[in-house]
A and B are shown apart, each in its own frame.
Chain A
Amino acid sequence: MMDTSKREEHWRRTKSLMIVTLTIWFIFSFVVHWFAAGLNSVNFAGWPLGFYMAAQGSEIVFVITLFWFVKAQDKIDRDCGLAEED
């Protein structure tokens, strides 16, 4: 068995990261699109903003979030000494 306090810290930080990631996910999956009609009155580089967010904006946020998440989780693993060998 490995050091339990390290494991606990690892799981606590992993959970926080999951919550932050899913909060971003929730906002750009649901909240933004709930208000699409209102956002459409805003012009974003030619696009109505509500349409833009559904066609491109949310997707760009998802890609960036995911690469960030991978990095952040890897750092947690390494900090706690629970990462796999490279």
Chain B
Amino acid sequence: MAGKMAGGSFIENLPKIYGMYTGGFLVFVLLMAILEQMGVGADTIGILFVAFTIVIYAAIGFLSRTMAVDAYYVAGRQVPAVFNGMATAADWMSGASFVAMAGGIYFGGHGYLAFVVGWTGGYILVASLMAPYLRKFGCYTVPDFIGTRYGGNLPRFLGVVVLAVASFTYVTAQINATGTIAARALQIPFEVGVWFGLLGILLCSMLGGMRAVTWTQVAQYIVLIIAYLVPVFWMSNKQGFGLIPQFVYGDAVARITELEALHGLGTLDPVAGAKGGLRALSVPFAAAGDSAMASWKFVTLVACMMMGTASLPHILMRYFTTPSVRAARQSVAWSLMFIFLLYFTAPALATFTKLQILDPELATGIIGKSIADVQALEWIQKWSNVGFAQIIDANSDGILQLNEFFMRGDIVVLATPEIAGLPYVISGLVAAGGMAAAMSTADGLLLAIANALSHDLYYKIIDPEAETKKRLLVARILLLGIGAAGAFVASLKLTSILGAVAWAFDFACSGLFFPIVLGIWWKRANRQGAIAGMAGGFLAGTWYLYMVRWGGMDPWIGIDHLRFGIIGMPVSLVLMIVVSLMTPEPDAETQAMVDEIRVPSGDTVLGSSH
């Protein structure tokens, strides 16, 4: 890490540095395994895992401290494509992806896979419509592009508002996740865990801004991907499912369909009396609804998640950090590749966990077994104690039926090592991975909000004369304030993790998707159109969310609160086109600027330090 300050040599040495880091992490895992064998308790190992990794991230954050605007906002634009891909993947994969996704698939089956499709395919839009052009533009933030392209303070301000609402919705969920994991691993109350998580997050980003976040996110990606893949591979091989689980679970899916019939899925309704947040299986795994409504619900969710991906500023701003337009494009492809590694594993994990729980012929199977036996299992006891699992023998026959077993979706990732009988060191690893996923996303989001407020609101609108030192000080104070606000909201536990995550995508696509895309691809788009498109789309989407969620309105044709982008986006598109055409076209200078961002070569439109 000593070379960190010496720009060029540090970049050249990246593969070596992160290679050593990965090796060091594996040695640490091994050491923990040895400690476990020597009789060190599970709790101590959990604490060591979480504490050790957070200290490493904080150290990277400290070493990457900077007082240069360029480094603070865009990591000096020197992050190589592959490393930026890793950082983006960590930025992208949240606590929800890591902890909740496999559980969502476990309970929701095919319908839930819309999230998996939506959260990968969105990168095609990022690469083909946005990232390279925004990189050529040379902006520091997404509202920076909107403000310069459309001119005037109002578009910039609206961009900041949409960004702040979408990202803040998202960041509370991430701080919530860090709090949950920290609370469990370190055995502190949730409310304390939330603030502890925030401390870790701020240590990574306060001093070095984007530069610090970039290099910690790469480190966090390495931890999270190891933590996700190792248990799945180990479990698959231990249980004899296959060497590479992702390619062999087809038969397991077929077997689950048989078992669902055997256990009476669809004929048994979950019995009453389960604790909040716990669910029993009630949806078939592989079957897809055979109606236009089912298909409609699937594709509308996919659409919202994809357009949301392409509008979320904390993702787009990662592509401002590459050395070139070409590298920005390559970097999007690498991001998707690194994300794919986790996302195509999640369905395999959900399948094998389900098979292990449902199949009475496997030693791990619990459905159809005697309740006394099941309650003697260590993982059932442990997770029942913390309210993550529950057994209700409603018909008092002493046998566990499908509709009598309840659990939280998170268990699929968190308890799989225990269900499959893997050593505890793996559970510690999983906790560290979940922490890395939630922290890296929270970091990116907090920085996106703070940067937009400090650069676009403070520097560009309120005080354009501010000196560099003052700008960076304001940026840091905002980061601290927003982080504290996020932690405070998270400690109130207002909504489930997933609800909030989907909303962030809907907010982002309602307000920002068309103003960004048309700003690049339609020269005729002007300020009035952008104002109408941003405000109209955002307000329409927000109004619909409010009405469906709290106002007692019935969703229109199956568009529930998770999909309100389907209302916001068309409003945004139509308003933007109609209003643009009704008002004068942009001046020649703006049109020339649009021509300029379409060409990769040459200088960025905005200067390197603006």
Residues of A within 8 A of B (CB): 2, 7, 10-11, 14, 17-18, 21-22, 24-25, 28-30, 33-40, 44-48, 50-52, 54-56, 58-60, 62-63, 65-67, 69-70, 73-74, 77, 82-85
Residues of B within 8 A of A (CB): 105, 110, 113-114, 116-118, 120-121, 123-125, 127-129, 132, 246, 248-251, 253-254, 257, 285-291, 294-295, 298-299, 302-303, 306, 324-326, 329-330, 332-333, 336-337, 340, 343-344, 347, 595, 598-602
Q: In whole angstroms, how far apart are the Cα atoms of A46 and B247 in the complex?
A: 10
- List, in ascending order, chain A residues with CB within 8 A of B326's CB: 74, 77, 83-84
Q: In whole angstroms, how far apart are the Cα atoms of A4 and B11 in the complex?
A: 37
Q: In whole angstroms, how far apart are the Cα atoms of A7 and B601 in the complex?
A: 11
Contact A22 B246 (CB under 8 A): no
Q: Which listed residue (B253, B294, B332, B598) contacts A47, Cβ 8 A?
A: B253
Within the complex, the shortest CB–CB distance from B541 to chain A, in Å, comes to 20
Q: In whole angstroms, how far apart are the Cα atoms of A54 and B332 in the complex?
A: 21
- List, in ascending order, chain A residues with CB within 8 A of B336's CB: 62-63, 66
Contact A63 B110 (CB under 8 A): no
Contact B289 A37 (CB under 8 A): yes
With A40-B287, A50-B288 in contact, do A30 and B124 touch (Cβ < 8 Å)? no
- List, in ascending order, chain B residues with CB within 8 A of A83's CB: 326, 600-601
Q: In whole angstroms, how far apart are the Cα atoms of A33 and B254 in the complex?
A: 19
Contact A21 B347 (CB under 8 A): no
Within the complex, the shortest CB–CB distance from B592 to chain A, in Å, comes to 9
Contact B302 A33 (CB under 8 A): yes
Contact A59 B250 (CB under 8 A): no
With A21-B124, A29-B117, A82-B599 in contact, do A52 and B333 touch (Cβ < 8 Å)? no
- List, in ascending order, chain A residues with CB within 8 A of B347's CB: 55-56
Contact A50 B110 (CB under 8 A): yes
Contact B117 A33 (CB under 8 A): yes
Chain A at the B interface: mostly helix, strand, loop or mixed?
A: helix
Could you list 12 further interchain pairs (A-B, Cβ under 8 angstroms) beyond the known A30-B299, A66-B332? Answer: A25-B125, A30-B302, A36-B288, A47-B253, A47-B254, A54-B113, A58-B117, A63-B120, A67-B333, A69-B124, A82-B600, A84-B600
Q: Which listed residue (A18, A36, A52, A59) contacts B340, Cβ 8 A?
A: A59
A-B contacts, 30 listed (Cβ < 8 Å)? A18-B128, A18-B129, A22-B124, A25-B124, A29-B117, A29-B121, A29-B303, A33-B295, A33-B298, A34-B298, A34-B299, A35-B295, A36-B295, A37-B288, A47-B286, A48-B253, A48-B257, A50-B110, A54-B114, A55-B344, A59-B117, A59-B340, A59-B344, A60-B340, A62-B120, A62-B340, A66-B336, A69-B333, A70-B127, A74-B326
Q: In whole angstroms, how far apart are the Cα atoms of A74 and B254 in the complex?
A: 43
- List, in ascending order, chain B residues with CB within 8 A of A33's CB: 114, 117, 295, 298-299, 302
Contact A51 B288 (CB under 8 A): yes
> How many contacting A-B pairs (Cβ < 8 A)?
160
Contact A28 B121 (CB under 8 A): yes
Contact A55 B113 (CB under 8 A): yes
Contact A59 B290 (CB under 8 A): no
Contact A29 B325 (CB under 8 A): no
- List, in ascending order, chain B residues with CB within 8 A of A36's CB: 110, 288, 295, 298
With A66-B333, A70-B127, A70-B329 in contact, do A47 and B298 touch (Cβ < 8 Å)? no
Q: In whole angstroms, how far apart are the Cα atoms of A24 and B127 in the complex?
A: 14
With A44-B250, A59-B344, A66-B336 in contact, do A77 and B600 touch (Cβ < 8 Å)? yes
Contact A70 B116 (CB under 8 A): no
Q: In whole angstroms, how far apart are the Cα atoms of A22 and B122 in the complex?
A: 11
Residue from B124, B287, B302, B325 having most chain A Cβ neighbours under 10 A: B124
- List, in ascending order, chain A residues with CB within 8 A of B332's CB: 66, 70
Contact A84 B121 (CB under 8 A): no
Contact A46 B251 (CB under 8 A): yes
